[in-house]
């Protein structure tokens, strides 16, 4: 479904991503791990189309999207839930969900948003509340809900568990499992290595912008020493 070939991202003289190649098959959960500054967000932003890659190619369902706008990628079914959620805090919950539909003109949007309220009853109860009044966990659910309104075939998430209570981390990971069972592919950037490798089928470990290790989740989990070396231990995981 997604094929990334030798992607490079540079900011001035900083080479944040250096020739990264990765794939996500339809219905697969793939995780990208790596220490702070490894280039995970830069990679996702290049996939989203927010930054122009210095090199490489992005193909989605056989179409070359490398030079396409972020909006075109959303239309093709690639949606990013960005680092730090980035919901519109001064808007209501409902208005945030409508923002996820800004590229869609069809009547199905209303039904789509209702389906999201069914999935997230907390959001339904608060649909007219200002998004800033939601807890961190609820804001993350809203950010994911907003992405789902675009009917993605691939959802990319940048450290969605960051700052969430253990209860919400569990909720988040079971939600990702549900979305995947509904047929949505997932590219998950995480620092919670243990949980990411539990849910993913495969993973890549980035170090200084390049893929240092890749393999099945089982292989990466078993590779304790290697993972520790690149990720600096697993302090992010709950006890």
44, two tokens = 């996702």
Nearer to ligand ATP, 12 or 62 (CB): 12
Is 14 a binding residue for ligand ATP by CB under 6 A? The answer is: yes
Is 31 a binding residue for ligand ATP by CB under 6 A? The answer is: no
Nearer to Mg ion, 126 or 191 (CB): 191
Assess contact for 21 and 34: CB atoms under 8 A.
Answer: no
Find where tokens 């549900």 sit: 178
Which one of 16, 113, 149, 197 is in contact with ligand ATP (CB under 6 A)? 16
Residues 38-67 that bind ligand ATP (CB under 6 A): 38-42
75: left (phi over 0), alpha (psi -120 to 50) or beta: alpha
Assess contact for 202 and 217: CB atoms under 8 A.
Answer: yes
Least CB distance from residue 16 to ligand ATP, whole Å? 3
* Pairing state between β 154-158 and 55-60: unpaired
Site string for Mg ion, 10-49 (x = CB under 5 A): ------------------------------xx--------
- DSSP letter at 133? G
Would you tell me which residues interact with ligand ATP (CB under 6 A)? 11, 14, 16, 34, 36-42
């Amino acid at each position: 479904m997604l094929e990334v070939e030798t992607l490079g991202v540079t900011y001035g003289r900083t080479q944040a991503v250096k020739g990264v190649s990765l794939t996500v098959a339809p219905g697969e959960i793939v995780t990208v791990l790596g220490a702070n500054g490894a280039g995970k967000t830069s990679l996702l932003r290049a996939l989203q189309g927010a930054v122009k890659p210095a090199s490489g190619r992005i193909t989605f369902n056989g179409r070359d999207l490398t030079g396409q706008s972020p909006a075109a990628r959303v239309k093709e079914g690639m949606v990013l839930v960005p680092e730090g959620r980035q919901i519109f805090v001064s808007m209501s919950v409902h208005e945030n969900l409508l923002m996820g539909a800004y590229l869609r003109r069809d009547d199905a949007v209303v039904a789509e948003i209702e389906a999201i309220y069914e999935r997230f009853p907390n959001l339904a109860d608060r649909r007219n509340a200002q998004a800033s009044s939601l807890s961190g966990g609820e804001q993350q659910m809203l950010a994911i809900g907003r992405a789902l309104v675009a009917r993605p075939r691939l959802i990319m998430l940048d450290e969605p568990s960051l700052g969430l209570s253990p209860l919400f981390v569990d909720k988040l990971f079971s939600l990702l499992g549900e979305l995947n069972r509904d047929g949505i592919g997932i590219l998950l950037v995480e620092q919670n290595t243990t949980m990411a490798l539990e849910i993913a089928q495969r993973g890549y470990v980035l170090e200084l912008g390049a893929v240092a290790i890749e393999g099945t989740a089982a292989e990466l989990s078993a590779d304790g020493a290697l993972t520790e070396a690149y990720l600096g231990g697993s302090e992010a995981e709950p006890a």
